[in-house]
Amino acid sequence: MNTNKVVLITGASSGMGRATAIFLASKGFKVYAASRTPEKLIQIENIHPIHLDITNIESVQKTIEKIGEIDILINNAGYGLVSSVEEVKEEQMQAQFDVNVFGILRVCKAVIPMMRRQNAGIIINISSFLGKIGLPLLTLYNASKYAVEGITDSLRYELSPFNIRVHSIMPGFFETNFARDNLVTNSQTFSENSPYAPLVSSLAPTIIKQINNGNDAQEVAALIYDIIQDNAFKARVTAGEKAKKFIPMKKELSDEDFERRVREYYQLG
């Protein structure tokens, strides 16, 4: 059992975060399930719900101080903005990066000193296969997840002298209510008057269908457990059908050939 290991999971009220919190608690970890809506987690056995707003540095600092000691950090909180670049609003751009990128950095900044003093720790960033592959209308989300991959790579160098492991998981599409709860759409892009209306009408239903028919979040929870248990686990790993299909393909093909495959798959013309 892992009763002496303390885990902090951000964005734990639903989806992969919730599944991971439940799974790790069942394995004996002391799990702090952080969310802006911790009341959604109160009734779950062996889980410690805690309020955390990763866009607010005071909230981050107070939450970390309240926990006191953290062995494993799972940066899971995030959402996806669906918008053309032409029509995206300034505040939408800022918000996407504030959560998906700066939120991770804020929590890491607060947790790393603890792990460094302990000379041990694990940080797992939940990224996306779209952190390696671009898709139209998801440019801001893509860019934020590309940034998460860069954070992961750099922190692996930066923190290895202190015996802190850093990993990323790149999920494909998972059935986690993401399409309902974690996709934010730009109303102008989704207007019938938008020059991108044909692209929206063809691509958006396909993406939503793939999310709703995606893999079970339990797959990611089990993968996180494997990373924790294996000191030699590789830097990053894919999860789910789409990630396992596209990431290896991207490595094998030229950029131009890969782009042609994606265009064909999503009928982008």
- Token digits for 139? 């440019």
pLDDT tens, position by position, for the chain (269 residues)?
566 899 999 999 888 999 999 999 999 999 999 998 888 777 777 899 999 999 999 999 999 999 999 999 999 999 999 999 999 999 999 999 999 999 999 999 999 999 999 999 999 999 999 999 999 999 999 999 999 999 999 999 999 999 999 999 999 887 656 555 678 999 999 999 999 999 999 999 998 888 877 778 899 999 999 999 999 999 999 998 889 999 999 999 999 999 999 999 999 97
For 53-81, letters b (16+ CB in 10 Å) and e give bbeeeebbeebbeebeebbbbbbbbbbbb
Q: Alpha-carbon distance 5 to 122, whole Å?
A: 11
For domain 6-265, the question of CATH label 3.30.300.30 is answered with no
- Token digits for 39? 């009341």
Q: Alpha-carbon distance 220 to 24, whole Å?
A: 11
* Single-letter amino acid, residue 212: N
What's the pLDDT tens digit per position in 161-178?
999 999 999 998 876 565
Nearest to 152 by CA among 197, 120, 122, 177: 122
pTM of the entire predicted model: 0.94
Residue 9 and residue 33 in contact, taking contact as beta carbons nearer than 8 Å: yes
Query: Residue 43: what pLDDT?
Result: 73
Query: Residue 98: what pLDDT?
Result: 98
Q: Where are the beta strands (DSSP E) in 139-263?
A: 164-171, 183-185, 236-239
Domain ranges across the chain: 6-265
For 3-35, letters b (16+ CB in 10 Å) and e give eebbbbbbbbbbbbbbbbbbbbbebebbbbbbb
Helix, strand, coil % over all residues of the chain, rounded to 5: 50, 15, 30
Nearest to 54 by CA among 71, 78, 25: 78
What's the pLDDT tens digit per position in 82-105?
999 999 999 999 999 999 999 999
Give the residue numbers annotated as catalytic, written as ranges.
13, 127, 141, 145
Query: Residue 241: what pLDDT?
Result: 85
| Cα dihedral across residues 14, 77, 72, 48: positive or negative | negative
